[in-house]
Structure 1
Amino acid sequence: MRRPRTSTALHQHDGCAKAAAKANQACHSCKRQKRKCDKALPSCGLCSRMSRTCDYSDVPPAPTAEDIMSLQLKLLELESRLSISSGSDGSLGRLDPHNETASHQGHTPRLQAREPLWESSLNVFPSTAFLDARLFRRVGLSIPRPLCDVPQALILVALYEYGQGIYPAAWMTVGQCVRYADFIGLPSYQDSNNILGQCGTWIEMEERRRTWWAVYILDKLVAIGSRKRPLSTEPSANEMLPVADSAFDAGDISAAVQGTVSAPFTEPQSPFSRLCQGAMLVSRALDHARRVELRKLNGELGDAVEVGNLADSACSLFVSIQGELVAQPAAYFSLMPAQCMALSATTTTLSMYAAGDAQVGDFPTAGISGLEGCEDGLSLHMTALEGLRKTAARARELARDLLAMTVRDEEAVKTSPLILGAVYSAAAEAFLLAAPALESSWKDSSNGGDDLLATTTTEAARKCLARLSPRWRLAGEYLRALDHLEVVVVLARTY
């Protein structure tokens, strides 16, 4: 009679079965990634989780594109180290882990002989370029090219994230664009030549200029609503604006007529140059807003002359672009973003004074009974209100024209997301200034049409944003913001 198996025998049998179900070597995928393989059959645990083929054969698989790229990057890294060693006294090399004189004997443990984890990273940039720029230039270490493609790719990503309302990703990507452009020396040709090398053609020179201007425009654009400090530096007075797109695309230097950033707005410019001028106006408005806040904290008075100059400059740019739209109807979608930038600069500047909470001139304009009628404070307060009325009316007509121009889907696709913020901000200011909670300056008996202006402006803005929301998700976000604002106004009227 056979004796039944004991529990110990059963465990031994199961252990043998498990041992028999293992391969005698790690799979090729785990070997390549330097991961621990459990050698399970028919597929190891890691390959099973990753849903990939598990290969235990003795013949190594053919190298993949990823393997070749990794070897190329490793080669670049080794070449960079060799170039450092050949241009210095060797003090930049790695410490010898077996050199006892490199550490304090008896106090510091010896370095591990195996390769550190960071040595296997795919970083092809020499750290010296960031840690010591003077040494980097002195050694003459090269950087993989072409680098100008990187900020251009980031610009496209940032524009998509902005248009689709993907925050804070859009904000962070624009910051990355600014940092990268600054690192490669844009817009200065002297600094960029140190990193990118000398420009071989006029096209390459203009490409660098246009890349920097695109970064500059996006940096100002994402800062309008948040009122955060932009990161990009301001161009010098003799910095050149981009040439016309047609001349750049054709590579025709004879047609490359361009002006400087100090050129008056009355001079004709290309659509891209107009957009750059609008971005510079937005930058001035944001800088003014920050200084106004600082003055309020310090109890200082504001500068009415600066407000007037900003408003006049924005109006001059808007009117100049309006004339170009009449002369060039085909350039409508190219010129519209620059016109909206001018509106955004005006709204940002005047909205701080229309509510009467800023100290301007010789008298404070809010909170002190009897001084509201004083000439300096009241004149700027009323000027700001009148300026916002004109801005709201212009934004209303702009939204109506845009709605008429985008009846067909193929026309709506041409619309830039850069116009959406200006349409929303003008409608929002009209909404807020029409609310009774902000006193009667906007709604006194002599200005009985302001309620109608606010209503028509927000209606046109809603229709325009609703039309563009299938193209740009940001338009839908602005629509929801207007809904929230309407609730605030209704509550103010009720209570």
Structure 2
Amino acid sequence: MATEQRNIVTFVKLLTSSDSGQSTEFADAQACKACKKQKRRCDKALPECSLCKRTQRLCEYGITTEFELTASDWSMMQARLSELENRLANSPRATEQHILSPISGPSSGSVLEQGTTSSATFYDSIDTHSINSSSQSIGLTRAYSTVECPDSTSVTRFPASMFLDIDCYVWSHARLPIPTGVIPAPVLAFLSQGNAVLDVSQNYFATIHTWFPMISKKRMDMGLPVQNAGPDLAMLFLGMKLVTTPAIDITDSTLYDTAKSFLAILESNGVVSLLRLQAMILVALHEYSHAIYPAAWMTIGSCARYTDILGLTPGDYSPLGQVCKLPVDDDVWDRGEVNMAVSHSTSISYQIQQSPFSRLCQASMYLGRAINYARDNSAMTSSRFEEIMSLVGELGAFATVVDNETADLSPETGLTLLAPRCISRSALFVALDRFTCPEKISVEPGYIESPEDKTQNEMELQRQSMRIIEQTSEQLHTLGMELLQAFRTERTSLMSSISPFILDSIYAGAATFHWLLGEGGNEVYRTAAADLDMLLDTMSSRWRLGSTYREMLTVHDVTARVAARTT
């Protein structure tokens, strides 16, 4: 922990001071919270005012939407940023020459299979397998696109040949620019608030990281990303802050707007790094978890395209074979035990025990298969019927295996398997939903009836689907009641450790109960629907997606359906 604190402090000082031994003289736009509360005179210095520093109090500044700087403040900040850029330009990371090809990468899976965040390690892995352009030039002209940053004197030269002619890009040994650029004032203000970065880091790894281990805690503790501090690392910390902020603490969109603006600045500066991709994924996770659409849809697509630039996308030319590999064991990766880091094939039997993150990946792949079947509008032949039921049987067996694994874990550790348990059941709803209706439903959204009659296979599929969907909804109700009981005893701490990926299945189960209530009037379904409605309401204090699903359920409510039919 002491090492992590030193690393974080080093990063903050690098961003906010011109001398690691001196405090910055740049002043915040308002007094710190402690001075304001005690009505003391505050010199507004960053990262902490003189009074708080002298009394060893925690010094925090609030960031308001009216964050403005005077002309002298801007001049001082620009001078400090220029010095920071010069130091970054002369750092070992900047002086080394790197080559990155989207179709080439390390022969070992250690970088990507373990999901490391360290930009240093990422670039080092490229060095190992790159071509020395200084000694092996083949005389091709390097094609770069030049971007002048409007608020900076820096010029970004990005190799446009990567997109226009990939062969030319590889043969000419073109290089991606080192991440540089101006860090916006609101971001600097946040990063320099007392122990803000350290607190965010600790909170992130204690909550989000437990069910979505995308960032290497081990390398962060070792300080590898901090040693190569740049704007992409600042963006990553901002993304960690964004995704760890509960919905009840989000009073406005200032933090989110700042993060989106910073990402746009990095894009315009041609910043390409693994750190920025991880920051983008965290922003996408925030947008999904709080139902910010269409932004979530667009950001997720941008992340997928960004992996092409980094050469991470699985494909025929990927020597890492990521298309057929699962992540290594979560605990082994967190401890950095390379000798025990074994990556299993995605084709491995689901009955072989895996770590929670691998289970999440397996559940996601099952969901992808279910979506493909749901979009298939071909005739219901005997072979297609057998394929669908085979997938459904595999999904049910997978869910049972993960349920049993959860039973062997402590309640706290078992939370890490909540997402794969629920996603596998979401896949069942996706695959079977339109087959549960008495009418023949087309593949188009909106439950559009087909004029054709159902075949024998389709009628059998309807009976099977109805049984499975009702059974799955009951399983989700049992799970939901366990969560509600746990929330009553340790609400705040528990809520932060639960993935928003569970909410889709809870919504689908509640919608099913509302539908069954409207069809048969069984009060058991009314109670079950109300319980899952309450779970969504409770979860909405952490993830606003819960309240969005709750609002959507009003359309499924039997009273609303009756009213809609009579108007």
Question: What TM bracket, shorter-length normalisation?
Answer: 0.5 to 0.7
SS at match of 1:65: helix
* Structure 2: distance between partners of 1:375 and 1:65: 75
Deviation by residue 1:367-399 (Cα, 9 ceiling, x = unmatched): 56xx66x64232111111111111111111111
> Is 1:286 the equivalent of 2:375?
no
Aligned length: 358
User: 2:469: which partner in 1?
Assistant: 388
User: 1:346: which partner in 2?
Assistant: 428
User: 1:64: which partner in 2?
Assistant: 79
C-alpha change, 1:61 and 1:416, in structure 2 (3 Å) is closer
* Structure 2: distance between partners of 1:453 and 1:366: 32
User: 1:107: which partner in 2?
Assistant: none
AA at the equivalent of 1:489: R
8 Å CA contact 2:291, 2:545 repeated in 1: yes
Deviation by residue 1:439-461 (Cα, 9 ceiling, x = unmatched): xxxx4xxxxxx734532332121
User: 1:311: which partner in 2?
Assistant: 392
C-alpha change, 1:468 and 1:175, in structure 2 (3 Å) is same
Deviation by residue 1:179-222 (Cα, 9 ceiling, x = unmatched): 111222225599678xxxxxxxxxxx9xxx9xxxxxxxxxxxxx
AA at the equivalent of 1:491: A
AA at the equivalent of 1:261: T
The Cα of 1:65 is off from its aligned counterpart by 3.3
8 Å CA contact 1:244, 1:256 repeated in 2: yes
Deviation by residue 1:454-481 (Cα, 9 ceiling, x = unmatched): 3233212111111111111111111111
> Is 1:241 the equivalent of 2:326?
yes
* Structure 2: distance between partners of 1:152 and 1:116: 24
* Structure 2: distance between partners of 1:129 and 1:257: 33
* Structure 2: distance between partners of 1:116 and 1:173: 23
SS at match of 1:414: coil
SS at match of 1:64: helix
8 Å CA contact 1:84, 1:141 repeated in 2: no
C-alpha change, 1:123 and 1:170, in structure 2 (3 Å) is farther
User: 2:486: which partner in 1?
Assistant: 405
* Structure 2: distance between partners of 1:182 and 1:454: 47
User: 2:403: which partner in 1?
Assistant: 322
The Cα of 1:419 is off from its aligned counterpart by 0.6
* Structure 2: distance between partners of 1:464 and 1:291: 33
8 Å CA contact 2:147, 2:155 repeated in 1: no
* Structure 1: distance between partners of 2:316 and 2:527: 52
AA at the equivalent of 1:490: V
8 Å CA contact 1:468, 1:475 repeated in 2: yes
User: 1:490: which partner in 2?
Assistant: 562
8 Å CA contact 2:148, 2:154 repeated in 1: yes
* Structure 1: distance between partners of 2:544 and 2:442: 39
Q: Out of 310-319 and 349-358, give the one that drifted further.
A: 349-358
> Is 1:125 the equivalent of 2:140?
no
8 Å CA contact 2:514, 2:556 repeated in 1: yes
User: 1:271: which partner in 2?
Assistant: 356
* Structure 2: distance between partners of 1:391 and 1:92: 58
* Structure 1: distance between partners of 2:149 and 2:296: 29
Q: How many percent identity over aligned positions?
A: 26
* Structure 2: distance between partners of 1:269 and 1:339: 13
* Structure 2: distance between partners of 1:481 and 1:116: 45
> Is 1:466 the equivalent of 2:537?
yes
**Aligned pair partner of 1:420 in 503, 512, 523:** 503
The Cα of 1:246 is off from its aligned counterpart by 0.7
* Structure 1: distance between partners of 2:395 and 2:560: 30
Q: Out of 351-360 and 146-155, give the one that drifted further.
A: 351-360
8 Å CA contact 1:432, 1:489 repeated in 2: no
C-alpha change, 1:435 and 1:137, in structure 2 (3 Å) is same
* Structure 1: distance between partners of 2:351 and 2:388: 20
8 Å CA contact 1:158, 1:170 repeated in 2: yes
SS at match of 1:314: helix
SS at match of 1:390: helix
Higher relative contact order (CA 8 A, sep 6+): 2
* Structure 2: distance between partners of 1:457 and 1:399: 10
8 Å CA contact 2:325, 2:343 repeated in 1: yes
AA at the equivalent of 2:433: S
> Is 1:53 the equivalent of 2:71?
yes
RMSD: 4.0
Q: Which residues in structure 2 correspond to 1:358-373 (within 5 Å)?
A: 358=441, 367=451
* Structure 1: distance between partners of 2:406 and 2:464: 28
8 Å CA contact 2:147, 2:156 repeated in 1: no
AA at the equivalent of 1:392: S
* Structure 2: distance between partners of 1:359 and 1:116: 49
8 Å CA contact 2:517, 2:523 repeated in 1: no
> Is 1:172 the equivalent of 2:298?
yes
**Aligned pair partner of 2:552 in 477, 481, 490:** 481
* Structure 1: distance between partners of 2:77 and 2:299: 37
C-alpha change, 1:394 and 1:256, in structure 2 (3 Å) is same
AA at the equivalent of 1:266: Q
Find the structure with the greater CA-based Rg. 1
User: 2:457: which partner in 1?
Assistant: 376
Unaligned ranges ≥5, structure 1:
1-48, 95-114, 194-204, 210-234, 437-442, 444-449
* Structure 1: distance between partners of 2:81 and 2:317: 34
User: 1:25: which partner in 2?
Assistant: none
* Structure 2: distance between partners of 1:387 and 1:395: 12
* Structure 1: distance between partners of 2:543 and 2:308: 30
The Cα of 1:302 is off from its aligned counterpart by 8.6
C-alpha change, 1:303 and 1:251, in structure 2 (3 Å) is same
> Is 1:135 the equivalent of 2:131?
no
C-alpha change, 1:329 and 1:50, in structure 2 (3 Å) is closer
> Is 1:332 the equivalent of 2:458?
no
8 Å CA contact 2:142, 2:174 repeated in 1: no
SS at match of 1:123: strand
Deviation by residue 1:143-174 (Cα, 9 ceiling, x = unmatched): 24682222211121111221122222221111
8 Å CA contact 1:465, 1:478 repeated in 2: yes
8 Å CA contact 2:138, 2:171 repeated in 1: no
* Structure 2: distance between partners of 1:358 and 1:301: 18
8 Å CA contact 2:161, 2:168 repeated in 1: yes
C-alpha change, 1:116 and 1:478, in structure 2 (3 Å) is closer
C-alpha change, 1:348 and 1:457, in structure 2 (3 Å) is farther
